[in-house]
Structure 1
């Protein structure tokens, strides 16, 4: 991989956080709420309707990979796809693996940096509001203060 391709992959990874926050805010809590709603309710099975989001997003990235590998002039889509895929893997690891404990990798483990992300996500689930980002969540101070006054944990299994 060339330095420019690596830089493009890193830029794509970094750009995914605000794009993810915007998608979460205006799609998942907007027109796509019919799928995302399952994520804010107690899980009744191993899978949620919300799980269709990463399937659709992965399909879009795979189309980008196909075009990047097969259509002249679109090779830049390959490192962009690598950056997006790396972000998706990090998101899944933190969100599904650590915060929601949907896989057993983190059972009984506490990781300080992930705990901060889990606390921000708990606030999102408490109030169905900000923060919408995952790896760099921006929690409004009034919500953090309000959340500090409750022991309720909507993430508890």
Structure 2
């Protein structure tokens, strides 16, 4: 039972830690050295379903795959748990960023939940900046608190 709790904590900690990795990578790598790949995501200067920005899927997937492989093939439970955490974060990223926010598939369009409204608004503000040097809201699941507060404001009469 103790091992199960530790394994769940490793998966959960990895998932939470991936938000920091995604924030750092988005701010300093995507909006820095690899702007070439991320630029079309902000400018929409691409044809078709895929973007050059989708290249980053591999950057995030490879460590998860390696950890899952090490855990599976060598019985390394810590690597396996880390791989599971990375993979769950990747799935969450796909559903929240690609499906919910950018509507690559036309589902979940009319959510009025305070959390989803806040992350959608923050991401919209991020895309308002089309140059690599500027921007805000580089996270995906956790955004500045002001976006959560905006949803609780009462309309003025």
Pair 34,12 (structure 1): closer, same or farther in 2 beyond 3 Å: same
Counterpart-to-counterpart distance in 1, 2:121 and 2:19: 17
1:30 is aligned to 32
Q: Tell me the equivalent position of 2:69.
A: 66
CA 1:137–1:82 in structure 2 vs 1: closer, same or farther (change >3 Å)? same
Look up the match of 2:117.
115
Are 1:10 and 2:12 an aligned pair?
A: yes
Superposition RMSD on alpha carbons, in Å? 2.1
Residue 10 of structure 2 contacts residue 81 of structure 2 at CA under 8 Å; is this kept in 1?
A: yes
Structural mapping, 1:30-49, within 5 Å: 30-42=32-44, 43-49=46-52
Task: Please give the TM-score of this superposition, normalised by the length of structure 2.
Answer: 0.80
Offset at residue 48 of structure 1 (A): 0.3
Gaps of 5+ in 2: 148-157
Count residues with an aligned counterpart.
140
Separation in 2, partners of 1:45, 1:20: 25
The CA distance in 2 between the partners of 1:111 and 1:135, in whole Å, is 16
Gaps of 5+ in 1: 142-157
Would the aligned equivalents of 1:17 and 1:135 in 2 still touch at CA under 8 Å?
Answer: yes
Following TM superposition, where does structure 1 have runs of at least 4 consecutive aligned residues deviating by more than 3 angstroms?
A: none
Structure 1 Cα separation of the partners of residues 95 and 42 of structure 2:
19
